Amino acid sequence: MNDARETKLPVGEPVAARGPVAVFDSIHAVLAAERAFLTAALVCDLVPIPRGVTSDCGLALLFRATDIESARAIFADPALGERLRGIFVPGPDGYIPDAMNSPQP
Amino acid sequence: MIYLDHAATAGPRRPEVIEAVAAVLRDGLGNPGRSGHSLSLRAARLLEESRCVVASFFGISDPARLVFTPGATASINLVLRGYLRPGDTVLASSWEHNAVMRPLRWMERDGGVRVEIVPPRRDDAGYPRGVDLERLRERLDTGPAVRMVALVAASNVTGESLPVREIATLAHAGGAAVLVDAAQGAGVLDIQAERDGIDFLAVTGHKSLEGPAGIGALAMLHPDQLEPLIRGGTGSRSEEEEQPSFTPDRFEAGTPNLPGIAGLAAAIGLLNRVGIETVASRHRELRGRLVARLRETPGLIVHHSADERGDEPGWLAVVSFTADGCDPGALSWALDRRGIACRPGLHCAPRAHRTLGTWPKGTVRFSPGPACTEAEIDAAVAALREATNEVRGGG
């Protein structure tokens, strides 16, 4: 089993400096989304779901802001889209819903 | 010790399986899907990669429709209690293990479920075989609607596999869902849930899959039709007090048995490398030799169709026999003292023994694993001859 992944995006920085996060129903869906990103050669990482988004105790998919259109295309696949609770982008005081997506917290 | 009790649980596990289990414990992996730290993430990756391995092995294209359970019995209880409603009718084969019969009888008594047994067909010598498909078809076409057909993939008493695909086709034509208890067949028979039309496929890890005990799985074609049996924390939707509606979380409340899951995935990885047809072929070779040797032994009744040698397709290396004048338990004990491990009695399948005509005393069952040798089969049968003499008071 390949369980050693390098951190590919900076974490621990001010939210405003970070990329968007995609939040899913379950760790199963998060890992499926990560596989889809890796298949599409997009850089991503898994981070704890920001508290401002939901109090859920799972992980979110963090990706580059420049890849948000590609992310939307990937999440158009119903297998992932049905499990997507929303895309959230950094705002001045924390993460806010992406205007193009209706989050389902 | 010559281990001929593989149908109860596999013999010593392979190093790869032991290492997979040990690695989870040794490395202190976290709780998958619960925390955000790297050890929890490693655990989650291992869980999901294992899920993909097991789902693929059983022909499930969406891994989310494969959930881990403590074993086939837990999977079967989940299905029967999560799918059936008062007034429903279930048809069960006449070879069912108590993993199916006991929850069904309980639901019949307390849950308003009607249970009917489908008789076997008879071969030329009158020996009971599989399922009488004509009777099944007639029953599905007439009488009260049938909600589910439950059957074993293979009998744990006789080793005969049932025609799962034909039965599933008939069941679906009659509007019934299909539950297959593959505790015995998984790892030997080529079972593909989607291809074979198995709505609910229950498997356990510790028999012919040769993984650890305490881990099993349920593959589902229609998880939305099933209510969970256990509800609780899943690491998802934690702000809600209602069980998640999506799979696999809907059916996997509580911390998963990650050492078991890792061991099961490792065991299936080995099976994939060997090839299931190689395992099936080895089972046929062993069964054929066992049936031939037992038939050469005076005073034994081998509960195998007289029309067949024993090495034909569709049979597992699971052979039941009785010996004139010998209690199965006494014979098993005499065999144990000669270094032969086997299982006497009813094998938790009184329904199958009634079908076979061996109820209530049961049989002695020899069930070698693929690693068993021909020399061990011959030695076991030689020991059996001594043991029968001893039990009969002659030795």
| The two structure tokens encoding residue B107 | 């639901």
Residue B11 belongs to some domain of the structure: no
Residue A102 belongs to some domain of the structure: no
Name the domain boundary from B257, B285, B319.
B257
Task: Look at B36 and A25 and tell me if their CB atoms are within 8 Å.
Answer: no
The residue among B172, B209, B171, B173 whose CA lies nearest residue B189 is: B209
pLDDT at B395 over 90: no
Q: Per residue in B125-146, pLDDT tens?
A: 889 999 999 999 999 999 899 9
DSSP A2: -
| The two structure tokens encoding residue B285 | 């070779």
Query: How many Cβ atoms from other residues are within 10 Å of residue B125's Cβ?
Result: 8
Which chain A residues are within 8 Å of B248, Cβ to Cβ? 26, 28
pLDDT at B79 over 90: yes
pLDDT at B394 over 90: no
pLDDT at A102 over 70: no
B244–chain A Cβ distance below 8 A for any pair? yes
DSSP A61: E
Mapped onto helix, strand or coil, the DSSP state of residue B10 is coil
B16–chain A Cβ distance below 8 A for any pair? no
Residue A11 belongs to some domain of the structure: no
Q: Rounded to an integer, what distance in angstroms lies between the CA atom of residue B368 and that of residue B372? A: 6
| The two structure tokens encoding residue A66 | 């420049």
Residue B7 belongs to some domain of the structure: no
Report the residue from A3, A32, A54 with minimal CB separation from B239: A54
Angle between helices B374-391 and B328-336 (to 10 degrees): 120
Are residues B54 and B301 in contact, defined by beta-carbon separation less than 8 angstroms? no
Task: Look at B236 and A27 and tell me if their CB atoms are within 8 Å.
Answer: yes
B208 with B305, same domain: the answer is no
Residue A7 belongs to some domain of the structure: no
Residue B362 belongs to some domain of the structure: yes
Task: Look at A54 and B249 and tell me if their CB atoms are within 8 Å.
Answer: no
Task: Look at A31 and B44 and tell me if their CB atoms are within 8 Å.
Answer: yes
Report the residue from A28, A49, A82 with minimal CB separation from B48: A28
Residue B52 belongs to some domain of the structure: no
B95 with B230, same domain: the answer is yes
| The two structure tokens encoding residue B246 | 């999506």
Q: Rounded to an integer, what distance in angstroms lies between the CA atom of residue B28 and that of residue B33? A: 15
Residue A33 belongs to some domain of the structure: yes
pLDDT at A103 over 60: no
The residue among B72, B304, B306 whose CA lies nearest residue B185 is: B72
**Overall average pLDDT of the B291-312 stretch:** 89
Which chain A residues are within 8 Å of B234, Cβ to Cβ? 26
A74 lies in which domain range? 17-97
Residue A24 belongs to some domain of the structure: yes
Q: Total structural domains in chain A?
A: 1
Max distance between CA atoms of chain A, in angstroms, equals 40
Q: What is the ipTM of this complex?
A: 0.78
B316 with B244, same domain: the answer is no
- Residue B178 phi/psi, 5° resolution? -120, 125
Cα-Cα-Cα-Cα dihedral of B169, B171, B175, B178, to 10°?
-100
B78 with B111, same domain: the answer is yes
Are residues A57 and A21 in contact, defined by beta-carbon separation less than 8 angstroms? no
CATH of the domain at B68: 3.40.640.10
pLDDT of residue B312: 87
B198 with B312, same domain: the answer is no
Interface test with B, best of A7, A11, A26, A49 (most B CBs within 10 A): A26
B309 with B377, same domain: the answer is yes
CATH of the domain at A78: 3.30.70
Query: How many Cβ atoms from other residues are within 10 Å of residue A99's Cβ?
Result: 8
Residue A5 belongs to some domain of the structure: no
Are residues B83 and B74 in contact, defined by beta-carbon separation less than 8 angstroms? no
Cα-Cα-Cα-Cα dihedral of B285, B287, B293, B296, to 10°?
-120
B158 lies in which domain range? 60-257
Name the domain boundary from B213, B229, B257.
B257
Taking the alpha carbons at both ends of chain B, their separation in whole angstroms is: 21
B120 with B148, same domain: the answer is yes
DSSP B69: E
- Residue A27 phi/psi, 5° resolution? -65, -30
Q: Per residue in B333-343, pLDDT tens?
A: 999 999 999 99
Residue A69 belongs to some domain of the structure: yes
Q: Rounded to an integer, what distance in angstroms lies between the CA atom of residue B132 and that of residue B145? A: 19
Rounded to the nearest 5 percent, the helix, strand and coil shares of chain B are 40, 15, 45
Q: Per residue in A38-65, pLDDT tens?
A: 999 999 988 888 877 876 778 899 999 9
A26–chain B Cβ distance below 8 A for any pair? yes
B291 with B223, same domain: the answer is no
Residue A104 belongs to some domain of the structure: no
pLDDT at A4 over 60: no
B107 with B233, same domain: the answer is yes
Residue B121 belongs to some domain of the structure: yes
Residue B17 belongs to some domain of the structure: no
| 3-class secondary structure per residue, B264-299 | HHHHHHHHHHHCHHHHHHHHHHHHHHHHHHHHCCCC
B42 min Cα distance to partner chain A (Å):
5
Closest Cα in chain B to A28: B48
pLDDT of residue A15: 54
Q: Rounded to an integer, what distance in angstroms lies between the CA atom of residue B370 and that of residue B9? A: 13
Strands B216-220 and A21-24: unpaired
Report the residue from A32, A48, A56 with minimal CB separation from B236: A56
B65 with B124, same domain: the answer is yes
Q: Total structural domains in chain B?
A: 2
Window A:70-99, CB contacts with B under 8 Å = 79, 82-83
B329 with B288, same domain: the answer is yes
Q: Per residue in B181-194, pLDDT tens?
A: 999 999 999 999 99
B72 with B121, same domain: the answer is yes
Residue B38 belongs to some domain of the structure: no
